[in-house]
Structure formats: C-alpha cells, structure tokens
Amino acid sequence: MAGLDQFDNPDIELDVLYGINGLGESLPGWGRRAVSFVGEHGIPVALALLVIAAWFLVRRRSDAHQAVAGAAWAPLAAGLAFLANAPIRDFVARPRPFVDHPDVAVLVQGKDGYSFVSDHASAAMAIAVALFLVHRVLGAVAFAFALLQGFARVLLGVHYPSDVIGGYALGTAVALLLAPLALGALTPLVRRCGTRRGLGWIARPPGASLPAARTADLTEQRSRLAA
C-alpha cells in the first residue's frame, strides 16, 4: 500500500536527515568508501563477533545450557526480524529518501527497495536485545553498535530516521516476544548436544560430567595403559 499519510515526512525529520546525511556528503572519497563499508558490512560483522564472544563467555556458566541457547537466539532473532519486515516493507511501500529528495547524497549504491523499516537497524537491535538477556556487558556493546548502525543508514542516505526507529522497534519486539518460545526449544537442544560425543564443548556447566561415549573411551584407554 503506497504512501501512507502517517509517514509523510515532517520538517523535523527532514532536518535530521539532511543534517546527518550532510556529514557524509562532506567526506573525501576514501572517507565515503570507509563509511559505506562500515555501514553495510563492518557493523554486522562486529555484531556477529559479539555473538561468538558471548557464546565463549557463557558456555561454562552454571546456566550454560540456557545461556548458550540465548546466544544462539541472537542471530536467529535477527533473521526473523528480517523476515518479519518483508510484508511490512511491501505494505507501507515507502520510497527511499533519495527518491523523493534527489539532493540527498547516496553513499552506497544498489539500494532500490522500499525504505520502511530498516533491515540493518531491526537485525542489529534484535541481536543487541537478545545478547543483553544473556550477557549484560556484551549486550550494552551491541546496543552501541545498533545505534551506530542506525546512524550509518541515515548517513548513507538510504533511510529516514523513522525507518531506523521502526527497525529498532521491530527488532526489539521479535527478540523479546519470541524469546520464551525460542529458549524453550533451544535449551533442550543445547543440553542434548552436551551429551553427544564431540559436541560437549558447545556448553558445559562447571562440574558437568563428560558424555558417556567420551567416558567410555577414557576408561578403555586407562585399561590399555594398565594392561
């Protein structure tokens, strides 16, 4: 459904758009390329590394099974936020800022889809919220990256500020509302992995016993040495 009235751009949003986008327009060529790379790929990679770091830090906690499940939920929440945005984007059908405002500087090419909401912002916030439920410090760092991601999308000229805010709301809703269902499914899966040979490294709470197959191998090795 094209052109919903509530998404007509008020002057204040245009002022914010031009103010942020103007910062990128004033950059030299190498600066534009750097900002484009960070906004398109750099921040998502940083968030992926935070997910890996969260798994590494929580896999030996007393609640390791649930914590690792929570870390696994972060990228899944981002993917679901991306999927949930597809019908929203097509229903709202809001053009990109540079379509209605040709004087907006576009610092990244190939963005010809609709604008509301920002996929980058929704996925980044979904990861941040999910990580915060598992590890407060890494979650706070992820929040900072999510805010930077939203700023970058406006700076690059491919989203309005309200696209970013809408993305934050969508990502938060997906990560929080579906977390109980996701953790209910993922936690038993992680626990079962801990009993499988070769998969115990995924999550092992302090004092947890080795998988039965691994214990049998160790017993057999000791018997051979004693023989």
Question: Hunting for tokens 């229903």 — which residue is that?
Answer: 91
Q: pLDDT tens, 25-84?
A: 788 888 888 888 998 899 999 999 999 999 888 888 777 788 888 899 999 999 999 999
Contact 216, 209 (CB under 8 A): no
Angle between helices 64-92 and 43-58 (to 10 degrees): 160
Exposed, middle or buried: residue 62 (CB in 10 Å: 0-12, 13-18, 19+)? exposed
- C-alpha 135/C-alpha 202 separation (Å) is 17
pTM for the model stands at: 0.80
Give percent of the chain with pLDDT exceeding 90.
43
pLDDT at 130: 96
CATH fold for the domain made of 7-193: Vanadium-containing Chloroperoxidase; domain 1 (1.20.144)
119 pLDDT above the threshold of 60: yes
pLDDT at 108: 82
- Give CA angle at 135 (133, 136), nearest 5°: 85
- C-alpha 211/C-alpha 227 separation (Å) is 25
Going by pLDDT thresholds of 50, 70 and 90, the confidence category of residue 123 is very high
- The listed range with the strongest mean pLDDT (1-5, 60-64, 93-97, 212-216) is 93-97
Going by pLDDT thresholds of 50, 70 and 90, the confidence category of residue 198 is low
